[in-house]
């Protein structure tokens, strides 16, 4: 799987160009599945925020994700998958060019990626692109840090560990996401880490990591 891990989505021409290169064809020729699951685990999200994210409402900022002009856009709700069987949903995923993983609570998303079987399927999708926003990016990392755990049932701060670094998103976007906050978070995370703002993405293809940015970011060594 090819990863484009962002804080705020496809927010500038550099990230847009990287996405098109990963897809190998124009966005309007690509079929996307939108994964809203992480939102259900975060106390700041609700049915209205999910609806706005799916339709790409300007107030949600998700014109930078679901509203990019895909050939088709479907919804893949991970909490439903265990009840319908893999023979139904696995073909949907295999036929998609890109999975769009929205933000919310990363440990909740990791839980349902495991429970649904999607986490086990990902290694068999080498040409599929995963575009993450916030928690949708953090879920691929080894740990998110207790700083970001908002799901009361989370056993710890571990995520899927499909990449070897952690991500501090929304740098300078919220009052609690300052560079100083990122430094304190990184000091406890125990793995290499990046703090990224809304204009930054981390691309991972075949183990090669590249930062794509028109904004601010920092890297912290473990």
Rounded distance between C-alpha atoms, residue 61 and residue 206, angstroms: 30
In Å, how far are 4, 193, 218, 219 from 175, measured between CA atoms? 25, 20, 18, 20
Rounded distance between C-alpha atoms, residue 39 and residue 84, angstroms: 21
Bridge partners of residue 34, in order along the sequence: 75, 100
| Residue 205 structural domain | 2-220
Rounded distance between C-alpha atoms, residue 39 and residue 50, angstroms: 7
- Using DSSP's 3-state secondary structure scheme, residue 128 falls into coil
62-97: burial string, b at 16+ Cβ within 10 Å, e else = bbbbbbbebeebeebebeebeeeeeeebeeebeebb
Which one, of 167, 183, 33, 135, lies nearest residue 93 by Cα? 33
> pTM score, two decimals?
0.94
The dihedral through the CA atoms of 15, 20, 21, 23 has a sign that is: positive
What pLDDT, on a 0 to 100 scale, did the predictor assign at position 59? Answer: 52
How many structural domains does the chain have?
A: 1
Return the H-helix or E-strand segment holding 119. Answer: helix 118-121
Rounded distance between C-alpha atoms, residue 138 and residue 25, angstroms: 26
Please list the pLDDT of the chain residue by residue as tens digits (222 residues): 999 999 999 999 999 999 999 999 999 999 999 999 999 988 776 777 777 777 765 554 557 888 899 999 999 999 999 999 999 999 999 999 999 999 999 999 999 999 999 999 999 999 999 999 999 999 999 999 999 999 999 999 999 999 999 999 999 999 999 999 999 999 999 999 999 999 999 999 999 999 999 999 999 997
Rounded distance between C-alpha atoms, residue 17 and residue 1, angstroms: 18
Phi (first) and psi of residue 205, to 5 degrees: -135, 120
> Contact 123/116 with Cβ under 8 angstroms?
no
Question: Residue 132 sits in a domain of what CATH number?
Answer: 3.40.50.880
Return the H-helix or E-strand segment holding 115. Answer: helix 106-116
In 13-71, which ranges are E strands? 31-35
Rounded distance between C-alpha atoms, residue 96 and residue 205, angstroms: 18
């Amino acid at each position: 799987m090819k990863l484009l891990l962002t804080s705020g989505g496809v927010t500038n021409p550099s990230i847009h160009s990287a996405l098109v290169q990963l897809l190998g064809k124009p966005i309007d020729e690509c079929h996307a599945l939108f994964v809203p699951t992480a939102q259900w685990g975060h106390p700041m999200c609700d049915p209205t925020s999910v609806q706005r994210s799916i339709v790409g409402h300007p107030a949600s900022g998700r014109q930078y994700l679901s509203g990019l002009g895909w050939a088709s856009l479907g919804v893949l709700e991970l909490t439903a998958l265990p009840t319908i069987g893999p023979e139904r949903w696995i073909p949907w995923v295999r036929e998609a060019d890109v999975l769009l993983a929205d933000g919310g609570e990363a440990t909740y998303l990791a839980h349902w990626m495991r429970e649904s079987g999607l986490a086990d399927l990902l290694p068999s999708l080498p040409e599929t692109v995963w575009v993450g926003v916030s928690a949708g990016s953090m879920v691929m990392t080894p740990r998110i840090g207790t700083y970001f755990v908002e799901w009361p049932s989370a056993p710890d701060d571990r995520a899927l560990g499909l990449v070897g670094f952690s991500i501090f998103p929304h740098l300078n976007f919220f009052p609690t996401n300052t560079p100083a906050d990122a430094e304190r978070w990184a000091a406890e995370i125990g793995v290499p880490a990046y703090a990224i703002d809304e204009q930054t993405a981390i691309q991972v293809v075949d183990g090669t990591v590249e930062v794509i940015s028109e904004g601010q970011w920092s890297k912290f060594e473990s």
